[in-house]
Structure 1
Amino acid sequence: MGKITGFMEYERLEEGYKPPKERLKDYREFVIGLDDSQSKVQAARCMDCGTPFCNSGCPVNNVIPDFNDLVFQQDWQNAWMVLDSTNNFPEFTGRICPAPCEAACTLNYNADPVGIKSIEHAIADRAWQNGWVQPRVPRIKTGKKVAVVGSGPAGMAAAQQLARVGHEVTLFEKNDRLGGLLRYGIPDFKMEKSHIDRRIDQMKAEGVTVRTGVMIGSLPKGSKVTNLAKETIEPKQLLSDFDAVVLAGGAEQSRDLPVPGRDLDGVHFAMEFLPQQNRVVAGDKVKGQIRADGKHVIVIGGGDTGSDCVGTSNRHGAASVVQFELMPQPPEEENKELTWPYWPYKLRTSSSHEEGCDREFAIATKEFIGEKGKVTGVKTVRVEWKDGKMVEVPGSEQTLRADLVLLAMGFTSPVASILEGFGVDKDTRGNAKASTEFIGGYATSVPKVFAAGDIRRGQSLVVWAIREGRQAARAVDEFLMGFSDLPR
């Protein structure tokens, strides 16, 4: 424990941001991380609880009190070793994780939690700067071949863990670059893609073979999922060529809004809009890019994807941005006696909201209005909840101007044809059916086929994907070898 009275002496210190006017000029990261002295003070606030709920609040079970103490001692290299032991990609989570560990922090019960995420960010960046992140090349090869389908955080974590114990791993991705939604969903201003690139370089050095532009199976007719693959491999071929297959694709089916006017030009899914901008930032030329320049933009959906649409629209130079949320506005402060140490229900304001956005709560979309085939407005109605049911408020209808509407209401399931191609049983939500039991965990109904990440659990957090990729890797290793030394 760094300092016994630190939590009583020091206040929480947030990471800084560049001013909105400055950061809206480009797509670079704008978070100003903590320096050495600030990190030390923040780490000193850790109470070293008898029962550190932060450990269990973190899906990958980071050993948080230990690396906090080491940062307080300014022993950064050992702090990195502790962090690296549980999290394959802390440079990702240190940037984009919502930090459920901080919600579970004991100090958060009646004060501000320790800035765990900012400390993790500082440790990971220092590790890369000092060359502490090196490939772990296995000394012995097992001769077993594993295919990992999908290169998001779950697929990357599974591939890296399996390669480190000597399996011959091939990572398949239908897009031209690796990373899944890390690459083509999360905007560069939240996480620059160089962080993915250097991890991929490390994984290649560890023995992972990468194949991009390869679609496993086929998409159903009329699918809204973008497929730019140049090659298709049938699932039965993969099952024939490999000793085990890990399905780690995303939940890519966007939730639609089937109201009148949905087919008007200018109404798009968020995942049509966001990936295009990421490709442009990467240097690609995107024909007919969806742009928000000078437009009145309405974003339907109040979550992180909607927030990303807000930030991207503002960088395009939108005339106005309004974000809709169907549910009532949450309280600004949670009732900690009821929620701690679990993730609380409260109003969350992102950096994108602060850059410029009107937020409308308890509002439903009735119809998209248009002229000459193009959207010009959105007809809405206020809603309230009575006896557990949503009802419209009489006389609350209104029409808001809109030149661009972005649907960001979440994702329903993975691409069904992928699971059907392998013959994998699905759960009631259309996800791959596979339990997380210690024995036989992540195994699907098809022999030697495993599933992890969003394709198994549905839309979730990057940190949950990393956890599932790691745990699935252990299950696969145990299946292939009869035992496994990989951590679970």
Structure 2
Amino acid sequence: MKISVVGSGPAGIYSSLELAKRGHKVILIEKEDRLGGTCVLYGCIPSKAMLNPIHLLAEMEKIGKKDIKISMEELRKLGQESSFRISKGIEYMLEDSGVEVIHGTASLRSGMLNVNNESIQTDYIVLATGTYRERIKGIIYSEDLPYLNKDFNSVILVGGDVGGIEFGWMLRKLGKEVILIDKQSTLLPYLDKDVSNAITTYFEKIGIKLYLNRTVKEMKENEVILDNGERLTADIVYMTFGRKPSISGFEEVKHDPFIIVDEYLRTSVSNIFAAGDVIGTHTAHEAMYAGKIAAMNILGYKKKFNKNGIPKVIYIHPTIAYVGKMEGNCIKYNLASLPRAVTEKETDGFLKICVKDDKIVGAQAFMKDAEEVISLISLLIRLNIKVGDIKDFVAPHPSYIEVITELLDKV
């Protein structure tokens, strides 16, 4: 069987590898010069490389070491190096798996796949085209920061979403003057109010100037005009939201605005499946999982795309992580009495877990190692394990994972 995969982001890569390892001919089509998609080239990979040293600085501050400095130039170098290395690794991995890579723009016309104005005969197509951004001249975007060869001391961030939170925190820790504007009354209002209020208070505490409940009337290179006419100025203006699904060339596939798929990730066209941000998943790990599911269903496995219990992480310090739904009996555990947190002076954090019908249905954390704690809870949710059985779990001591067993003892 011959399958064409459009897009080399996480969904496209993992779909291609899953199909290739099962002995099928795979053609991967990518319009960019390098492989990896937004995540590897501009997003999660370079940003995490840039954020990591700031995490280390934040931990050193806890023990009184506040004289360690790192420059924006050093962070950009780390971001670019990680992006290039992982992109090159993807290239080698696909080559070793026998995946043929074609660089060009793909489109679907009357059911035929075209690349660079040439038709490709294919049995199935996986659309993993991701998202794109409509750009405003003079405005800096999240994907620009690792490559921004410009020094600045002040920045206005428009949007308090994940990008605004991560880069706002990082830039403030670098000593930049940071203004953050958001139309909501608190940061991350879709989270539990304890987490939302905590991160809002924390950002104010570290000196980020918040303009909440405000909308932007106009943006310029160094100025933002608010809905009430107030003018804010900075060295650069940075927008953190506004990505749209990349469906150009594939308008024949039903979409609104994301490509519509069923529980097996099949689109309105019977031999076309879709995965990743183009269907609205919004995280790289969901895209990887979706890419595998799409590939398996092309091969007839009838495996459903299970959205339940997929964790989300915002990589600041303390880290924000969350999973599931906050409903049922919800209880909170403050880290002030957790031995590991006391030893590392990380007692400001907390974990909140919700239990319903003797099962964990959701959890949110604002704490050190929240990523690992919530990931373990994610596994418990996805495996449908009862709270009574979880109580037989023995966590290492002292550890941050102990917060789960300590909290469940209170259920």
Q: In 2, Cα distance between the equivalents of 1:352 and 1:146?
A: 48
- Candidates 214, 218, 222, aligned match of 2:104: 214
Q: Is the 8 A contact 1:174 1:215 kept in 2?
A: yes
Q: Structure 1 residues 270 and 334, CA, compared in 2 at 3 Å: closer, same or farther?
A: closer
* SS at 2:290 equivalent: helix
Task: Give the equivalent residue in structure 1 for 2:211.
Answer: 360
Task: Give the equivalent residue in structure 1 for 2:261.
Answer: 434
Deviation at 1:432, TM superposition (A): 1.6
Deviation at 1:348, TM superposition (A): 4.2
Q: Is the 8 A contact 2:297 2:303 kept in 1?
A: no
Task: Give the equivalent residue in structure 2 for 1:184.
Answer: 41
The CA RMSD measured in Å over matched residues stands at: 3.8
Are 1:170 and 2:27 matched, yes or no? yes
- Candidates 247, 250, 256, aligned match of 1:419: 250
Q: Is the 8 A contact 2:152 2:235 kept in 1?
A: no
Are 1:246 and 2:130 matched, yes or no? no
- 1:40-439 equivalences under 5 Å are 144-186=1-43, 188-191=46-49, 192-193=82-83, 194-211=85-102, 213-217=103-107, 232-234=115-117, 237-238=119-120, 241-254=121-134, 266-271=138-143, 273-274=144-145, 277-278=146-147, 290-307=148-165, 309-310=167-168, 320-330=177-187, 334=192, 347-348=198-199, 357-368=208-219, 375-381=221-227, 398-411=230-243, 413-420=244-251, 423-426=252-255, 428=256, 430-436=257-263
Q: In 2, Cα distance between the equivalents of 1:460 and 1:244?
A: 24
Q: Which amino acid aligns with 2:107?
A: G
Deviation at 1:347, TM superposition (A): 4.6
Q: In 1, Cα distance between the equivalents of 2:223 and 2:267?
A: 46
Q: In 2, Cα distance between the equivalents of 1:453 and 1:367?
A: 32
Unaligned runs of 5+ in 2: 50-81, 109-113, 307-411
Task: Give the equivalent residue in structure 2 for 1:467.
Answer: 289
* SS at 1:323 equivalent: strand
Deviation at 1:179, TM superposition (A): 0.8
* SS at 1:146 equivalent: strand
Unaligned runs of 5+ in 1: 1-143, 219-230, 257-262, 279-289, 337-343, 370-374, 382-395
CA deviation profile, 1:114-160 (whole Å, cap 9, x unmatched): xxxxxxxxxxxxxxxxxxxxxxxxxxxxxx11111111111111111
Q: Structure 1 residues 365 and 356, CA, compared in 2 at 3 Å: closer, same or farther?
A: same
Q: Which amino acid aligns with 2:249?
A: I
Q: Structure 1 residues 354 and 304, CA, compared in 2 at 3 Å: closer, same or farther?
A: farther
Q: Is the 8 A contact 1:215 1:232 kept in 2?
A: yes
Q: Is the 8 A contact 1:308 1:352 kept in 2?
A: no
Q: Structure 1 residues 376 and 414, CA, compared in 2 at 3 Å: closer, same or farther?
A: closer
Q: Is the 8 A contact 2:40 2:86 kept in 1?
A: no
Q: Is the 8 A contact 2:290 2:305 kept in 1?
A: no
Q: In 2, Cα distance between the equivalents of 1:353 and 1:416?
A: 39
Q: In 2, Cα distance between the equivalents of 1:405 and 1:486?
A: 42
Q: In 2, Cα distance between the equivalents of 1:296 and 1:431?
A: 35
Deviation at 1:474, TM superposition (A): 0.9
Q: In 2, Cα distance between the equivalents of 1:164 and 1:487?
A: 20
Q: Structure 1 residues 206 and 329, CA, compared in 2 at 3 Å: closer, same or farther?
A: same
Deviation at 1:334, TM superposition (A): 3.9
CA deviation profile, 1:297-353 (whole Å, cap 9, x unmatched): 2111112223455478679x88533222211125999468xxxxxxx756548x999
Task: Give the equivalent residue in structure 1 for 2:322.
Answer: none
Q: In 2, Cα distance between the equivalents of 1:355 and 1:320?
A: 11
CA deviation profile, 1:399-447 (whole Å, cap 9, x unmatched): 2113321222232x32342222xx2122x3x2222211xxxx2222223
Q: Which amino acid aligns with 1:434?
A: V
Q: In 2, Cα distance between the equivalents of 1:244 and 1:170?
A: 11
Deviation at 1:267, TM superposition (A): 2.6
Task: Give the equivalent residue in structure 1 for 2:327.
Answer: none
* SS at 1:190 equivalent: helix
Deviation at 1:484, TM superposition (A): 7.4
Q: In 2, Cα distance between the equivalents of 1:299 and 1:216?
A: 34
Q: Which amino acid aligns with 1:447?
A: S
Q: Structure 1 residues 153 and 445, CA, compared in 2 at 3 Å: closer, same or farther?
A: same
Q: Structure 1 residues 470 and 345, CA, compared in 2 at 3 Å: closer, same or farther?
A: farther
Q: Structure 1 residues 353 and 206, CA, compared in 2 at 3 Å: closer, same or farther?
A: farther
Q: Structure 1 residues 476 and 356, CA, compared in 2 at 3 Å: closer, same or farther?
A: farther
Q: Is the 8 A contact 1:292 1:318 kept in 2?
A: no
Q: Is the 8 A contact 2:265 2:305 kept in 1?
A: no
Q: Which amino acid aligns with 2:100?
A: T
Q: Is the 8 A contact 2:247 2:278 kept in 1?
A: no
Task: Give the equivalent residue in structure 1 for 2:268.
Answer: 445
Q: Structure 1 residues 335 and 360, CA, compared in 2 at 3 Å: closer, same or farther?
A: closer
Q: Looking at secondary structure, tell me which structure has more strand per residue.
A: 2
Aligned length: 265
Q: Which amino acid aligns with 1:442?
A: L
Q: Which amino acid aligns with 1:178?
A: L
Q: In 1, Cα distance between the equivalents of 2:182 and 2:36?
A: 29
Q: In 2, Cα distance between the equivalents of 1:145 and 1:352?
A: 51
Q: In 1, Cα distance between the equivalents of 2:305 and 2:261?
A: 19
Q: Is the 8 A contact 1:376 1:403 kept in 2?
A: yes
CA deviation profile, 1:80-128 (whole Å, cap 9, x unmatched): xxxxxxxxxxxxxxxxxxxxxxxxxxxxxxxxxxxxxxxxxxxxxxxxx
